[in-house]
Structure 1
Amino acid sequence: MENLHIVFWLLKDISWCMIWKPLGIAMIFPTLIISLVIAWRTRQFMSELCHNVAISLWISANSYWMISEFFHFDAQVIVGPITFKHLALIPFVSGLLILAFYYLYYLPRNKESEEIIN
């Protein structure tokens, strides 16, 4: 499943690069769904869960950014220097915060249990 996920992800990003709107938009769904399934299946391991949720958020941000460029609202100003493209920072930063939680809070407090699992 993880390997198929990468194929969909690459097809989505290649479509973005080549401005193939229908294929790019269509590839969002299998890419995101599989990343969520992978996160769900690894939920018993905090390391895997945090990383896979961060990947799902990355795909969400990346997909939103792609759509904003496809439909030419990426450069529209919301307020001041902030454009609609900048809204992709919400899921990007959310993923980063999840990883920060894992590495800065969870891992130091659960190092022994993580070593046993790995």
Structure 2
Amino acid sequence: MGTPRRAMFASLLAGGAVVATGQAADAASSETRHLLVAELRSGDLVVGTGGTVVRIHSVSRSSGRYAVRAFSPFDTSTYLLKPRSGTTFSAAQRFVVLLRRVPASAVPLTARPVVAPPSVIDGGRP
């Protein structure tokens, strides 16, 4: 299995897909780490749900499962990262960690994407 495919598979396990060309995936995979959820620390930049890069706020353990809170990339609020099913991660869950222990001042906030309202055609039968 090639490096770009392995990097893509690992990012899918982390809850989102990284959109990258083969060359970009090669470059990214040499610097990324795939860490267990228990090894995450506050300030780590990880690939989150939907392929967004988020900064870890906290990781807490309860009954062998892990709740992971992250800072929103759009404001200073925090939210719970969720796996594909349920609200907590198993101990075997791995995350794609891009950078370790990054201070908040190093992570610029981005504007929330504007989603156009759906076009509705009225007057026809379904």
Superposition TM-score, scaled by structure 2 size: 0.20
Superposition TM-score, scaled by structure 1 size: 0.21
**Which structure is higher in strand share?**
2
**Which structure is higher in helix share?**
1
